[in-house]
Structure 1
Amino acid sequence: MAAQTEFIATQVPLTVQGVELSIASLHRAGERAPILFLHGFGSTKEDYADIVRQAAFAGQPFVAYDAPGCGASHCADLGRISIPFLLDTALQILEHFQIERFHLVGHSMGGLTALMLAHKLAGRVLSFVDIEGNIAPEDCFLSRQIVDYPEVDAERFFDDFIERARQAPAYASALYAASLRHKVRPGAVRGIFESMVWLSDHGELMDTFLGLGCPRMFMYGEQNAHLSYLAHIQAQGVRLAQIPACGHFPMYSNPMAMWQHIAEFQAGAHAG
């Protein structure tokens, strides 16, 4: 008996800023507006594959893909990758799958990319779930290591980054560290991190986030409840979702709580 196909895995050939890519994706078609998922640094599209296990999302169309330099995607020039490059990749993915209006979910690096995407495509984004994506300088606790621990050799920097992540006193840090070498090409790290730091420090991300016209939810782990801006963004109409027993990675530490909050939020956004 053949196994039921719950999503389709494809390699999508793209050319972004003159660079040849082959983007590994998972998707499921349907009649409703789809969800576009953007993963964080050191993660992959499979962070979101369990949407097919969630009754609240029965039949929900979605697209998730590995960013260039990550997972099973291939990039002909790793040194060209940056957040603006990832934004252009997302725009082409939407075009490839012929997606017009959609819900948006992004984590960390993917949250920052999603913020830029939501700003660029105002009117097409039905809702935005930002899972600890960068909106202030204090959010660069991972990416700012490219500045705080200067190292010319990409492999050596990545080795040291992995060890620091392994020893970090936060939920799922060791689990996260264990797969980093398999999920990220070292040559992609510097461009991603440097652009994240620059945008967080100089890109007016908070103003951009608060200026979005779509319903917004900011999700964070209880270990990061100290973020200085939480009360401010809540006062500006952003829904907060604190995930118990969790640090930066709700999809690893408490996925059921993550999915429940996303489902409830998107249902409310759709009803509105």
Structure 2
Amino acid sequence: MFCRWINSDNSVGTILYIHGLGESGLCFESLVQNEHLCQWSHIALDLEGYGKSLWSVTPKSLEEHADSLARWLQFKSISQVIIVGHSMGGVIGLILSEKYPELVQGFINVEGNISIEDCTFSSQAVSYSLEDFQRYGFDTIRNSIYSDGLEDPALRSYYASLCLCQQETYYLNSKELVELSRGAQLAKRLSTLEIPLIYLLGNPRGTAELSRSMLTASDVEWRAIEDAGHWPFIDRPKTFVNEMLCFLSQLPK
């Protein structure tokens, strides 16, 4: 997997960034380079089939992505990471935390899927058959994102990453996200994690109201980044970093 890795001198911890559907670790560039987070080491990988990582002969499932991340961390002898998982990365971060709790110290879930109402691009993808998605569906979605990105910096960055991703992986992961979100168990699963956790969302253009109510019902702490959408760390970077620092300051030393 392609990796953006910044080691901090006298690091107080390691932050592992997990990107979303069709994205790449490039979307976290402003966080990785942020001077207020310089005490931490930063790892932003491109999942297999996304970004600059190799495409898989057999597309990787969400659980397989989590397993690949765990193997990578184990190979590098890294543990007790703080996960920052965005969108699909929030779901993968959940799976990683469930299966490999010894590797995770804390979890910042950013706009991760909770309910079916959070499935924007994934729902569009699975409205096609795989064959039609490969023939014209993916291009249709990508072209729409390009048009919307003319006025939205986050979508401009997303479009750039989409140009590198494997269509089969995008489609498989979209199906999984829709199925998991429709199952309405993701908030409950978050609530069972025995690690420090916070869910950060963009308001008013981010996580659906239904999902917010499900988080509240499951006693999952969540906070809103105001005047932001699905990429709050791009829309409001200073506010987002302040929320990160608040969470990080509460972790056990």
> Under a length normalisation based on structure 1, what TM-score does the superposition of the two structures give?
0.80
Aligned to 1:126: 105
Decide whether the 8 Å contact of 1:51 with 1:57 is kept in 2. yes
Where relative contact order (Cα < 8 A, 6+ residues apart) is larger, the structure is 2
Q: Deviations over 1:77-110 (max 9, x none)?
A: 1x42221221111111211221121111100111
Decide whether the 8 Å contact of 2:126 with 2:171 is kept in 1. no
- The 1:203–1:74 alpha-carbon spacing in structure 2 relative to 1, beyond 3 Å, is farther
Aligned to 1:146: 125
Using the alignment, how far apart are the partners of 2:79 and 2:146 within structure 1?
40
SS in 1 for 2:174: helix
Aligned to 1:269: 251
Aligned to 2:19: 39
Q: Which amino acid aligns with 1:233?
A: L
Alignment match of 2:81 (pick from 102, 108, 111)? 102
Task: Say if 2:165 is the partner of 1:188.
Answer: no
Task: Say if 2:29 is the partner of 1:49.
Answer: yes
Structure in which a larger fraction of residues adopt helix = 2
Count of aligned residue pairs for this structure pair: 248
Aligned to 1:25: 3
Using the alignment, how far apart are the partners of 1:259 and 1:156 within structure 2?
38
Task: Say if 2:199 is the partner of 1:218.
Answer: yes
Q: Deviations over 1:141-161 (max 9, x none)?
A: 221223334462314111111
- The 1:101–1:73 alpha-carbon spacing in structure 2 relative to 1, beyond 3 Å, is same
> What is the CA distance between 1:209 and its match in structure 2?
0.7
Q: Which amino acid aligns with 2:55?
A: C
Q: Which amino acid aligns with 2:63?
A: P
Decide whether the 8 Å contact of 1:171 with 1:245 is kept in 2. no
> What is the CA distance between 1:62 and its match in structure 2?
2.0
Q: Which amino acid aligns with 1:27?
A: W
Alignment match of 2:46 (pick from 40, 56, 66)? 66
Q: Deviations over 1:157-201 (max 9, x none)?
A: 111111343456995464245324423122322111112222222
- The 1:150–1:173 alpha-carbon spacing in structure 2 relative to 1, beyond 3 Å, is farther
Query: Share of identical aligned residues, percent?
Result: 23
Using the alignment, how far apart are the partners of 2:30 and 2:158 within structure 1?
21
Say what the alpha-carbon RMSD is for the aligned residues.
2.5
Aligned to 2:183: 202
Using the alignment, how far apart are the partners of 2:188 and 2:251 within structure 1?
22
- The 1:203–1:83 alpha-carbon spacing in structure 2 relative to 1, beyond 3 Å, is farther
Using the alignment, how far apart are the partners of 2:21 and 2:219 within structure 1?
28
- The 1:100–1:258 alpha-carbon spacing in structure 2 relative to 1, beyond 3 Å, is same
